Amino acid sequence: MGTEQKRTLLTIGIFFLAVTIAILLYVIGIINWILIVPVVAVFCGLWLIVLGVMRTNKLERYERSSFSTVVFGLITLAVGGAWAVFAINWIYSVIVILLIIVVIAIATAFQHK
């Protein structure tokens, strides 16, 4: 089994773990049923960031770069986080999205030095 296949299998396992944790948080009463999907999105965004950091610099042709994977993870994290805090107040969602945009802009500026 190749490295990419192991990461794919690990990603599927992490997704099911995120779904399980979100359902468990709902059953315990920590979150509302509406927040199950945002919690899964936040966990998957965090996992995408970890995958981007783990990825090596040797890219296959047409393969996504590690920076691209980290940015996609940040966007997923922002969408899930903004969706989750929208239940509290919509302005917090705007703050989360703007904060992630700032982090991506700073990271892009440092990458293209």
Please tell me the total count of domains within the chain. Answer: 1
pTM equals 0.85
101/87 Cα distance (integer angstroms): 21
108/111 Cα distance (integer angstroms): 5
Q: How much is the mean pLDDT over the chain?
A: 89
The model's pLDDT over 63-106, given as tens digits with 9 standing for 90+, comes to 778 888 899 999 999 999 999 999 889 999 999 999 999 999 99
Residue 29, C-beta contacts closer than 8 angstroms, at least 6 positions apart: none
Residue 113 pLDDT grade (very low, low, confident, very high; cuts 50, 70, 90): low
Contact between 44 and 23 (Cβ < 8 Å): no
Query: Looking at residue 57, what is its pLDDT?
Result: 67
Domain hosting 35: range is 3-111
